[in-house]
Structure 1
């Protein structure tokens, strides 16, 4: 079930990126996040491109976050948005603080 899939991935001490490989904003989010030295297993990236429940996962992400589009980036249990949002958080210096606050870096 899509809800179980998503909810099982999101954890208070992890950064989770739901993405599709062909999406430029997903690549942007991934590149921004990869600038940081994460603790082991603290950054989890899930490519849903070929997932059998891809549409249902995106439907549930919309229900949970207000947007169906990928990427959806969770820092801890809070969705911080997509690629542009993560890039903006980095530019204004908030991303590092958020990553530190959950112990991911």
Structure 2
């Protein structure tokens, strides 16, 4: 019996080491599907990301309606035990 994961959105660029690390952490927690919006390939999406998150840096991570923040915030959430419940695991 598997539960559906919430919709996960990552705003990233192709060469950002923090973006890569965030995706690796999500993969380690069993997340295989997410929407990745590459703001380096779609510059108009950076404005949408900034309006949604209030930040200009990548990655910006949303799990469901929750704005997690960037890679550091994702890692802190995981270390505090808050990521798995947010993922519905």
Q: TM-score, normalised by structure 1?
A: 0.70
Moved over 3 A (4+): none
2:28 corresponds in structure 1 to 35
1:44 corresponds in structure 2 to 34
Q: 1:63 aligns with which of 22, 27, 51?
A: 51
Q: CA offset at residue 21 of structure 1?
A: 2.1
CA RMSD of aligned residues (A): 2.0
3-state SS of the aligned residue for 2:28?
A: coil
Q: Across the two proteins, how many residue pairs are aligned to each other?
A: 85
1:44-97: per-residue Cα shift (whole Å, max 9, x none)? 14251552xx32211111111111211111100222111111111111110011
Stretches of structure 1 lacking an aligned partner (at least 5 in a row)? 1-11
Q: TM-score, normalised by structure 2?
A: 0.81
